[in-house]
Structures are given as C-alpha cells and as structure tokens.
C-alpha cells in the first residue's frame, strides 16, 4: 500500500517535471504510474521520489527522474516502435520505455545487474522487454534496426555500431563527453544517409565502458 506521504512526494515530483518542460501527457502518465521504489534497495526507498540519481549495485546509478522523463519525451515513442536501450542498470528507464513502445531490447554489461533486472521484469510480468548481458556498444545486431535507441551511459563519441542499427527516420539519444565532467545530451536523427544532431542540455552519467563484467 502506498502511504499518504509518498503520494504527496510523487505529486511534487510530477509538478517538478512539469516545471522543467515535461508536457507530453503519455510521459507524465507513465512517470506517475511507475513506482520508482521497486528499482532501488530498501534503505533508499524513502528517497525514491526525490528528483535525484541514487546508487545501485556495481557502483552504478539509477538515473534522476527528470533525466529519465526528458530522454523519454525526446525519443517521441509511438506504440508500434522497437526500442534499444544500452545500460539496463536498475531497469527503471527500461520499464518506463516498455509502457510506451511495442518492444524494448536492453543490454547491460554487468551480469549482476542484468540478472536482477531480468528477474524483476519477470516478477512484474512484463512481456515486451528482452534483456541481454553484453557490451552494449555493439548494439543488438540480430534484432536491428531499431526505431529508437537510448544510451544511459556517457560515451566520448557517438558509437558507429549504434548508428548503423538505427532505422531510417530513427532517433537516438545519448550523453556525449568526458566521463569526469558534465556531458551533452544529444539527439541524433537519421534521415536516409545523413544524420542531424541536436544538443539537448548538460547531464552527468556514468561512463559507457567496453566489454562485459561476469559478476
Ligand atoms: N537507465 C539506468 C541507468 C543505469 S547507469 C537506470 O536508470 O537504472 C548506466 C548503466 O550502463 C550501468 O548499469 C552500466 O553498467 C551500464 N553500462 C555501461 N557501459 C555499458 C556497455 N558498454 N554496455 C552495456 N551497459 C553498459
């Protein structure tokens, strides 16, 4: 049962998202519906509705709700779309995407996080998320092309393999820059053979690392 104080915190969070430009009804609705508490460890649950990133296992973070909402809004997901996410982490962003898209393919390099997210989606009885333990910089070739690609870790430059796996008229969102500083969130649209790239704003993400971890 959700407590009254939690409902209040959730309402405040939604108002904060609206104040920061989140105005698409479907995005606000899923941000309101999805319970962020289930994606963090017990001791952090009271902070789940604060608009902050929180630590998860393997030294990673669950993204800040405003950043999740912003990236989701920019992706402009339609019901029939196939989305690739790189960096499953807690599975919070994945679950949000699964409420808007037809299928979500998500890749995580840490085995521990991959297993946790896989089990959580099973428990939540989600049937349109496919998880993979791999180096997401390689994308998910067998399932390409994707209408949308979202990368939730920062890269020094736009990974070519991911651009290759983006559909014509597809859109990708990724933080680009130095891992020790703020990065620029970029929106990349593929039109035939040309890419158009727009800067959205400054963000701070954990780095996109090469290879996979077997723990
Ligand atoms: N969207 C997630 C964000 C997690 S942080 C959430 O809200 O919980 C970023 C995640 O990207 C981490 O779990 C990290 O392990 C993962 N990651 C970093 N480099 C990766 C790579 N090359 N392939 C797949 N996952 C990667």
* Tens-digit pLDDT profile for residues 105-130: 999 999 999 999 999 999 999 999 99
- The answer to whether the peptide bond before residue 145 is cis (omega within 30 degrees of 0) is yes
Question: pLDDT digit string (tens) for 32-85?
Answer: 999 999 999 999 999 999 999 999 999 999 999 999 999 999 999 999 999 999
Residue 215 lies in a domain: no
Out of 57, 75, 89, mutate this one to test ligand 1's pocket (max ligand atoms within 8 Å of CB): namely: 89
Mean pLDDT of the residues in the chain: 96
Alpha-carbon distance of 81 to 104, in angstroms, equals 9
Per residue in 110-148, is it b (16+ CB within 10 Å) or e — as a string?
A: bebbbebbbebbeeeeeeebbbbbbbbbebbeeebbbbb
Provide the whole-model pTM. 0.97
> Which of 14 and 7 is assigned the larger pLDDT?
14
Ligand 1 center–CA 8 separation, angstroms: 30
> The domain that contains 38 carries what CATH number?
3.40.50.150
211 in any annotated domain: no
Q: Are 33 and 99 in contact (CB under 8 A)?
A: yes
Atom of ligand 1 nearest to the CA of 107: 24
Number of domains, the chain: 1
pLDDT score, position 6: 84
Q: Which residues are catalytic?
A: 63
- Rounded CA separation 91/121 (Å): 8
Residue 196 structural domain: 4-203
């Amino acid at each position: 049962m959700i407590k009254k104080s939690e409902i209040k915190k959730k309402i405040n969070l939604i108002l904060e998202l609206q104040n920061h430009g989140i105005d698409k009804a479907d995005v606000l609705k899923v941000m309101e519906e999805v319970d962020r508490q289930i994606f963090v460890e017990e001791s952090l649950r009271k902070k789940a509705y604060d608009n902050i990133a929180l630590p998860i296992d393997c030294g990673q973070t669950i993204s800040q709700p405003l950043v999740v909402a912003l990236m989701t809004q920019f992706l402009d997901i339609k019901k029939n779309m196939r989305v690739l996410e790189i960096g499953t982490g807690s599975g919070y962003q994945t679950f949000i995407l699964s409420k808007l898209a037809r299928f979500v393919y998500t890749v995580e390099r840490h085995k521990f996080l991959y297993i946790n997210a896989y089990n959580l989606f099973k428990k939540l009885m989600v049937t349109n998320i496919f998880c993979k333990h791999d180096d997401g910089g390689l994308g998910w070739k067998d399932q390409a092309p994707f209408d949308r690609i979202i990368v939730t870790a920062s890269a020094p430059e736009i990974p070519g393999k991911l651009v290759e796996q983006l559909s014509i008229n597809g859109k990708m969102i990724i933080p680009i820059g130095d891992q020790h500083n703020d990065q620029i969130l970029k929106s990349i649209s593929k039109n035939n053979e040309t890419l158009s790239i727009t800067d959205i704003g400054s963000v701070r993400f954990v780095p996109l690392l090469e290879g996979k971890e077997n723990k």
